[in-house]
Amino acid sequence: MKTPRGPLRTGRQLRAARAMANLTQRQLAIEAGFAPRAGRWWEKRPDGLPTSVPTSQERIVAVLRRHGVELFADPTPGCYWRA
């Protein structure tokens, strides 16, 4: 398994950030450019790395930032609302 890069680390974190951004799985998938089925699968793996494709991770993080949500990896994966 590849070492995770960037702040996106778990399916649980992805689900929390998406909900905080008030996005459906489909909306996030369309804006970030991946298949909605992939997003559902990633969120079902709560402690697993959502995707090991760096460009997908970067696009997801960018979409969430546009919607006011920041992700962080340390000390534990999480997210917060940016004012």
Tens of pLDDT, residue by residue over 20-78, are 999 999 999 999 999 999 999 999 988 888 887 888 899 999 999 999 999 999 999 99
The span from the CA of 55 to the CA of 68, in Å, is: 20
Statement: residue 3 has pLDDT above 70: no
Which fold does the domain 11-78 belong to in CATH?
434 Repressor (Amino-terminal Domain) (1.10.260)
Q: What is the pTM of this model?
A: 0.89
CB contact at 8 A, 81 and 18: no
* CA angle (6, 48, 57) in 5-degree steps: 30
For the chain, what is the radius of gyration of the CA atoms?
11
Question: Which one-letter DSSP state was computed for residue 8?
Answer: -
